Structure 1
Amino acid sequence: MTFLLPLAAEGGIIENLQKSAQETAEVFGVNAWALFSQIISFSIVAFLLHKLAYKPILNVLEERRKKIAEGLANAEKIKVQLAESEARVQEILTKANVDAQRLIDEARASAQVVADRRTQQAIAEAEQIIAKAREATGIEREKIMAELKREVGRLVIDTTSRVTGKVLTQADQKRINEEASREVAA
C-alpha cells in the first residue's frame, strides 16, 4: 500500500479525494471540530456506560443464569431423590403387606389350632358328661331296681300271706324276696 501513495500523489488522486471530502462536508454541514468533540463525548459516554451500566447488568445476568442453572440442577436432584423415596416407600409397603399377610396366616393357623383344641375339649367334656350320666343312670337304675325288688318282694309277701292266710316267717320272706328278685332281674 505504501507504493500506491506515491502513485496517487503524482496523478492528483489524493487532492481530488480531499477536495471531494471538503465539498461533501460543506454540503452536509459537517464541522470537523464539532464532529471530533462529539466523537470524544460519545467515547466517554460509551466508556462510562460500559464500566458503570453494562458490566453490572452483565454481572447480574450472569448471576441469574448461574442461579437458574443451580435451580435446575437442584430440581433434577430433587426428582432423583423423590424417585428414590417413592421406591423406598413402595419397598416398605410391599414388605408391610408381606408381613401383614404372614401375620394373618399365622393368626388363622393359631385360630384353627385353638378351635381344634376347643373342639377336642368340648368332645372330651361331652364324653365325660355322657360317662357321668351313664354312671348316674346306672346307679339310679340300680337304686330303682333295688327299690323295685323290695317293692315286688313286699307285694309278693303280702299277696302270699293273704292268699295262704298264714303269717310268713323271716326265712320264708327272705326266700320269696330272692325268688322275686331273680325273676325281676331276668
Structure 2
Amino acid sequence: MDPTITIVVQGIAFFAVAWMVMKFGWPHIIAAIEDRQKKIAEGLAAAEKGEKSLAEAKNSANDIIKEAHARAAKIVEQANRRSVEMAEEARGVASAEAERLIAGARQEAALESTRAREELRRDAANLAVFGASKLLGREIDAKAHADLLDKLALEIERG
C-alpha cells in the first residue's frame, strides 16, 4: 500500500471521528463544563453571601452586646439611685422616730417633774403643818385647814 493512500484514509478517518465527536460528544462536554462553571459560580456566590451573613451576624451580636451593657449599666444606676433613696428614706424614718422618742422622753420628764413638784409641795405642806403644830403646841387638822395649807404651799413653791 501506498503511503499516500494510507495518509488520505487516515485523514478521512480522523475527520470523520472529529466530526462525530463535534456533532455528538462535544455538546455533552460543553454542557458538562458549563454546568460545572455554573456550580462553581453558585458556590462562590454562596460563600460570599455566607461571609456577608457572618459579618452581619457579628455586627448584630456586637450591637446586642453593647445594648446589653447599656441596659446593665442603666439597671445598676437605677439600683444605686434606689439604694440612695431607700437610705434617705430610712434616715428620715429614723429621724422622725428619734424625734418622737425624744418628744416622748421630754413629755415623760415633764410629767415626772410635775409629779415630783406635787410630792415636794405635799411634803412641804405636811412639814409646815407639823412645824405649825409644834409651834402652837397642838395638832392642826389638815382637812379643816386645807385652804390655808394650799395657800401656804403655793407661797413655798413661789419661793
TM-score by length of 2: 0.71
**Correspondence for 1:154 among 103, 123, 126:** 126
Specify the alignment match of 2:91 in structure 1.
119
Separation (CA, whole Å) in 2 of partners of 1:47 and 1:69: 31
> Higher relative contact order at CA 8 Å, sep ≥6: structure 1 or structure 2?
2
Separation (CA, whole Å) in 1 of partners of 2:91 and 2:53: 56
Counterparts in 2 of 1:182 and 1:68: CA distance versus 1, 3 Å: farther
Q: Which has the larger radius of gyration?
A: 1
Specify the alignment match of 1:14 in structure 2.
none
Separation (CA, whole Å) in 2 of partners of 1:184 and 1:30: 170
2:113 counterpart of 1:108? no
- 61-70 or 108-117, larger mean C-alpha shift: 108-117
Separation (CA, whole Å) in 2 of partners of 1:53 and 1:158: 152
Structure 1: gaps of 5 or more residues: 1-28
Structure 2: gaps of 5 or more residues: none
Separation (CA, whole Å) in 1 of partners of 2:5 and 2:72: 96
Counterparts in 2 of 1:30 and 1:143: CA distance versus 1, 3 Å: farther
Counterparts in 2 of 1:142 and 1:36: CA distance versus 1, 3 Å: same
Cα-to-partner distance string for 1:39-67 (whole Å, 9 max, x where unaligned): 43343333333444443233212211221
How many equivalent residue pairs? 158
Separation (CA, whole Å) in 1 of partners of 2:120 and 2:67: 77
Specify the alignment match of 1:5 in structure 2.
none
TM-score by length of 1: 0.63
